[in-house]
Structure 1
Amino acid sequence: MGDRLPRLALTAGEPAGVGPELLVRLAGLPLAADLVAITDRELLERAAIRCGVTLDLREDDGRPQPHVPGSLRVRHVPLAVGEQPGRPDPRNARHVLATLAEAADGCLAGRYDALVTAPLQKATLNDAGIPFSGHTEYFAERAGVAVVMMLASPELRVALATTHLPLAAVPAAITPELLARTLRIVHAELQTKFGLAEPRIAVLGLNPHAGEGGHLGREELELVVPVLDRLRAGGMHLLGPLPADTAFVPAMRGRYDAVLAMYHDQALPVLKSEAFDRTVNLTLGLPFIRTSVDHGTALDLAGTGRADPSSLIAAARMALELIARRATSRAPLRGEDEG
């Protein structure tokens, strides 16, 4: 990167949600970056009016330019129809996908140093006839790589073996191959993105009490333990399988650097209840840095100008920290020694 400022691509997500307003709030902050919003310019103009702020929008010309608080450069991707806050319209689904494609392809081509995404409405894309299970899965397919979803706060990092699946589909989805691949990705990214030379990963069991020795399910004995033993033999520091109900108590926190949960709601309620406004969603395994908010579109708040931008701000700042780590290789991240 040399001496130039890092260049962040920003997507607004669901036009009828809070994403456009969050981008407007972010644009008002002093950030040592080059910010480019990939969305509809007039959508941002209307969001600024709803937030009661003045925002100078300029067309991005591709040349690096330091961010000026109260301004934002835009790569215009037009809406199909005007947004109605709180009421997603499937006719705008193609617009949402186009912004994601432009941002991801720009990162893959080196035009952006990282991607920061606002929340979208998965159901609306599916209502438009577009099979879509989430940002994480979309970017994995776009880049042609296996990825892992991680949510991170200053105090806790949680990765997921499965993401947006019905609970009934989770046991069949957790195979030895999936578990081993996921743990390898998490291990490698804790080293490269977070500078942990020998990361310690706590692995949760699938069943209550981690199977209770086979009395509450045999997945731990027959699937999880063999995979963990094999990876330990290869040098990974893995704890578990641990019962999910005690893995997050204070006495356990100092024993690991990250947790691997088996499914979405097994661990994320703990993280979000502790640090909802400071938690960031990261996609591990991509050839580019992607961070996001840890919440949804908040349709009930859309259009009011009252949506809290804290998580998007945290996502942008984490993206900048990860870019700085990549550039300097071993410089410690802020708060990393907190364990």
Structure 2
Amino acid sequence: MEFNSSQFLFSGRWDHASSYSRTSAPGAMVQFNAVASSLDLELEGHARWRLDQDGKQLAIFVTDRKTVKNVKVAGDGKSHLYRLIKISESNPGGVILHTIATDKKGKLMAAPKFANRRIEFIGDSFTVGYGCEGHVADQEDHVFETTNTSKSYAFLLADGFKADFQINAFSGRGLVRNYDNIVPEWKIPRLYKYTAPGFAPEDVSKTSDESSLLWNFDSFHPQVVVMFIGINDFQGNPPYGDKDEFKKAYREMIKDLRLKHPGVKFLLVSTKVWPNDDLTPTVKSIYETEIADGNKDLEFLEVRTTNEGLHGHPTERSQVDLANTIRPIVGRLGKWMSR
């Protein structure tokens, strides 16, 4: 069967060409309905994937070079909802979805419909689900094998609310300073502008087609934005991010998002960072300034995590706890029921 993007529902930022779709976002997802005994998934790029049938995990597999992954599915003659989820991060890099096809006797059905709930997550490795399947004692480089965005608080929240979503999160990146000052020219505000920043050349600003790589913010208007950023600004080896510069950049991002998404609500999330624990008082100060200025569209939340996953990151259990802690506030902001 030929690939027809109209038969699929895409979550996350995707760049759609005539014969393929590409993404670099963690948690990017494709949903489709099909009657099938098996599925052929033609994919390209280094990534871990999860395939679900009717909300239950069927398989986890890895791709690299262009390949066709064949997966046996229901085969009962009934239509089922499938979702293909990119559970690893691409930083840099990305993946290309060439085709999704059923066996010869199967067929793709009408695409699932968009939800009436929309949520966006802006964050770093905590939001990615970095190393959540690993252990802090493991000093080996097992990031790829232990990162699972489908077990991150962000995916769990979106899934629980049955919401369309974007997870725009970048491990090691900060608002004004990246962890240990890695790739300082590519901090979150710049990465955030692009559809698939992992595909961008080292210096996109020098290319003639930069505009074609930029994300179209009119294509997805979230009702709630969860901002969990700043860990990398104030952690790792010093010098750390300048607090006044951080506050300015944070408030500029909020202001810009208000203009792009009229009526949007914000949840500003913070947690303890080492060694100085500068993040929480800084974000709380931003929140208090916003409230003092008369803005009533945001809330603040400090969270605690059990950082026993790989490289001191939240575990699967801690990600669940994060989702449970954040859920009631997001539900209140979105005026949504819990399910």
TM-score, L = length of structure 2 = 0.32
Identify which of structures 1 and 2 has the higher relative contact order when contacts are C-alpha pairs closer than 8 Å and 6+ apart. 1
Q: Which has the higher strand share?
A: 2
Q: Which has the higher helix share?
A: 1
